[in-house]
Structure 1
């Protein structure tokens, strides 16, 4: 049955066109005789040749679906408005079917953009076939134009969503890591299969398991904020220096993460310590989440790192201020009282102490100003800080010119060694500041058996008081 007479043509649910390309074939023959070999390049040189070929095509018949799709009432209206159907996009797509026919192919297919007579855009999948017995003159070609607008629009929206998601990832101000934890999940599942229930105890007994899991973690991608946070010029540089970023602290952090995952907490957060490539510390708030579509295998997880370094520095400084005297860099009275309470509760004995008072500070302030007095206090702070460094002892400024050194675990011999070191440090300092030597009144004590810390302190304080009284009596006589 001839295609023109076939009932299937008319009732087809896909738009179908029967067209005559014989004039196009004659044009091809003419160009071949003129020596044209590469039709694609030839048509690209002058795209008006593409439109000339399109005008040579005769539309013999279209089916009802074609008229419906292009919103034409009949074939005549459709043919009279082809310039509306095939707009500027045609030169980009029609060239492919021309080249296919030029090369002797009897089938061609490509996507294209058409328009209805009312101007609505149509994304179509065009397929063509030269019907049998018409291969020599191309006088009968069947064209189908399937409407794929909905599919194309869905693809376009999907691509836009993907680009938006990529942009959110790339330009997020928060450091983002996309990682693969699937092998880690397999390891945890294997432990459950073996009957392990107390996972924390298992990790205590098998600490190497944490390292094994760290090795199974696969980093898929990081964003620009991650490179900025860790001072990496590129992803390649960052990945080569992960051993610097994840230093010793990572093992404990990752151990805690594994415990959370074992408990089923697939979304959790904690503070962690990382390092930039230059070695500077990065305090971060780590937020871990398994992506919804990967809850079964943990194939895609996201780790978000918020830089809280500045906050931690501020917190540490506030904590420092709460326990230290800013001028001398020694502990303050609040720390001293807390330390006394701790030592009183602690069973560690013996405990010794040294009470120190700066002689003549008030007179120095009155005669030379408080700057001179502050300088003397800073010197005293430096001496005591040197005295207690690398020891479990503490030195506190408990008043304007009063200082206390607490020596937990120090007996009388250790106390005397500390006093000797104090005098040596004082001697060196006074030699350097010979025009303004420091004079001290010192009291010391070691707690007796069953003696309260408070009573020991009173003995040392009383001894210091007597030294200070003698100092001022002698000083007044000399005056």
Structure 2
């Protein structure tokens, strides 16, 4: 029989129970009060050895069978003799709660902590304590229960770790991630179905305001760090407040296609779109939209991933440019020129005028001054033609020193005006390079009724050579007159 009036309820209880004597702890409390301690919680946290001091003053009166079973002890004495192995490590920190409650005069307290079995197994415990009636002044009888909540806490820790893992992946993903709520859009689409709308594409063509309404109903729940970096936003608040600067211009057209996908129950789709950073620069992105699992019925949680493909698009554009342009002169190249000839041949638009231009004395320049000097002449004729020719007309370098201008819809008068413009720009350019003037030969032809474009170009080419020969005849005469 124990030192207190024991009952069968205590010994047979299915939960671990301890009867303990805190009277020496009470005496320690009184000494601290006399020394002026009032905030016991802060006082104990300043020095955890004070907690250990109190713990050493607790005397175990009795434990029940479930306590021995829980901690792997064969007897109360074995448990008492090894109590330091049970209460250790982080237990001192959690012990502050019950000591603070008793110091403040409370007769009941609840807390959680970590104990260990005698074999070293960790136990997460829920601790409840109650001062027995009639012992409030001495604290010599305090009943404690220790509930094993290890399984629950392990599940909670696992859930916390999984959440941290998911949040870490979200926050530190190198891809811009948006978590959004599309439930209001789902409601709007369902209402249209209820009204009998079948062809949603036609409906959005007729009612573009519906697309804009749906755009305004998107609720952004969160964005990650990569999103702020992608759009040059200093924080989430700034980004969300200035969304109109990000999603503009053709974004409404792309969003319409996204709505059509959703209407057709395509809850996972992707497309390339153009957004804008807050500094105004364009961002080509691959948009990937996913309704997250478990939210297929209301679309209340969707993820939008934006992969920055700006560099790729620039590379593609440059490769496309290289495929159609001469790098040195910045004019179109021969491949583009041939495609344009074929296109104009297929089109019914007439008349078409063609100009063939030869850069005089390029070979002489290369031979006597080097190819760098020759390249400089080519760049300059490129500047002249780029300055004079604009769409729908096209200028191209079709050979080493030969160029062509194709002018769809241009009659003889318009073609002659183009030639005059080129010559005027040539004169201006030569004023800046008086030591190396440009000289060109021009042939100009305009299509006749039923004439093939290829024939027009041949006539222009022949006229260019005629002009060139005339210039060559004039040059010796000029030399003789100067002599």
Aligned to 2:189: 188
Establish whether residue 378 from structure 1 lines up as the match of residue 379 from structure 2: yes
Question: Distance in 1 between the 2:285 and 2:21 partners?
Answer: 71
Q: Which residue of 1 aligns with 2:398?
A: 398
User: 1:31-58 CA deviation, whole Å, 9 max, x = no partner?
Assistant: 6677665444555566555444444444
Supply the distance in 2 between the matched residues of 1:437 and 1:36 (Cα, whole angstroms).
99
Segment of structure 1 superposing worse, 296-305 or 325-334: 296-305
The alpha-carbon distance between structure 1 residues 435 and 76, as it changes in their structure 2 partners (threshold 3 A), is closer
Alignment of structure 1 residues 266-285 onto 2, 5 Å: 266-285=267-286
Partner of 1:469: 469
Structure 1 residue 409: Cα displacement = 1.4
Indicate the residue corresponding to 2:457 in structure 1.
457
2:288 corresponds to: 287
Alignment of 1:405-444 (within 5 A): 405-444=405-444
The 2-side partners of 1:239 and 1:394 are apart by: 44
Instruction: Look up the match of 1:114.
Output: 115
Distance in 1 separating the partners of 2:203 and 2:330: 44
Change (3 A) 1:322 1:33: closer
Q: Secondary structure at the match of 1:467?
A: helix
Structure 2: distance between partners of 1:46 and 1:362: 93
Aligned to 1:200: 201
**Structure 1 stretch displaced more, 158-167 or 13-22:** 13-22
Q: How far does the alpha carbon of each residue in 1:199-228 deviate from its partner, in whole angstroms, 9 at most, with x for none?
A: 222221111222222222222222222222
SS of residue in 2 equivalent to 1:144: strand
Are residues 1:231 and 2:215 paired? no
Q: TM-score, normalised by structure 2?
A: 0.90
Deviations 1:65-120 (A, max 9, x none): 11110000111211222122112434323332233234333321100111111121
Change (3 A) 1:88 1:427: closer
* Alpha-carbon spacing, 1:116–1:466, altered in 2? closer, same or farther (3 Å): same
Secondary structure (helix, strand or coil) at the match of 2:294 reads: helix
Distance in 1 between residues matched to 2:125 and 2:192, nearest whole Å: 55
In the aligned structure 2, how far is the partner of 1:332 from the partner of 1:268?
Answer: 39
Q: Where do 5+ consecutive residues of structure 1 fail to align?
A: none
Shift in CA distance, 45/266, structure 1 to aligned 2, threshold 3 Å: closer
Displacement, 1:22? 4.5
Q: Secondary structure at the match of 1:292?
A: coil
Q: In 1, distance between residues paired with 2:43 and 2:78?
A: 33
Aligned residues: 477
Structure 2 residue 255 is matched with structure 1 residue 254: yes
TM-fit CA distance, 1:233:
2.9
TM-score (norm 1): 0.91
Matches within 5 A, 1:79-118: 79-118=80-119
How far, CA to CA, are the matches of 2:381 and 2:56 in structure 1?
102
Distance of aligned partners of 1:132 and 1:435 in 2 relative to their CA distance in 1, 3 Å threshold: closer
Does the C-alpha gap of structure 1 residues 431 and 52 become closer, same or farther in structure 2, counting only changes over 3 Å? closer
Instruction: Write the mapping of 1:303-318 to structure 2, written as runs, cut at 5 A.
Output: 303-318=304-319
Give the distance between the partners of 1:202 and 1:87, measured in 2 at CA. Answer: 71
Distance 1:52 1:300 in 2: 53
Aligned position for 1:159: 160
- 1:25-64 paired onto structure 2 within 5 Å: 25=26, 28=29, 37-41=38-42, 43-44=44-45, 47-64=48-65
| 1:24–1:374 Cα change, 3 Å | closer
1: distance between equivalents of 2:313 and 2:406? 29
Whether 1:321 and 2:302 are equivalent positions in the alignment is: no
> Partners of 1:469 and 1:43 in 2: how far apart?
107
1:303-342 Cα shifts (integer Å, max 9, x gaps):
2222222221111111111111112111111001100111
Equivalent residue for 1:242? 243
Tell me the SS of whatever aligns to 2:275: strand
Q: Secondary structure in 2 aligned to 1:294?
A: coil
Q: Are positions 1:213 and 2:214 aligned together? A: yes
Q: Secondary structure at the match of 1:403?
A: strand
Structure 1 stretch displaced more, 47-56 or 236-245: 47-56
Q: Whole-Å Cα distance in 2 between the matches of residues 405 and 395 of structure 1?
A: 4
Report deviation, 1:444: 1.7
Q: Secondary structure, in 3 states, of the residue corresponding to 1:183?
A: helix
Where does residue 366 of structure 2 map in the other structure? 365
Aligned partner of 1:445 in structure 2 is 445
Q: Which shifted more, 171-180 or 366-375?
A: 366-375
Task: Please tell me the root mean square deviation across aligned C-alpha atoms, in Å.
Answer: 2.6
Indicate how the Cα distance of structure 1 residues 33 and 369 shifts in structure 2: closer, same or farther if over 3 A, else same: closer
Which residue in the other structure is 2:129 paired with? 128
Shift of 1:346: 1.3
Q: What SS does structure 1 have at the residue aligned with 2:190?
A: helix
2:48–2:93 Cα contact (<8 Å) kept: no
CA contact (8 A) 2:25 2:57 kept: yes
Distance (Å, rounded) in 2 between the aligned partners of 1:10 and 1:128 = 17
Aligned counterparts of 1:159 and 1:263: Cα–Cα separation in 2: 37
2:179–2:304 Cα contact (<8 Å) kept: yes
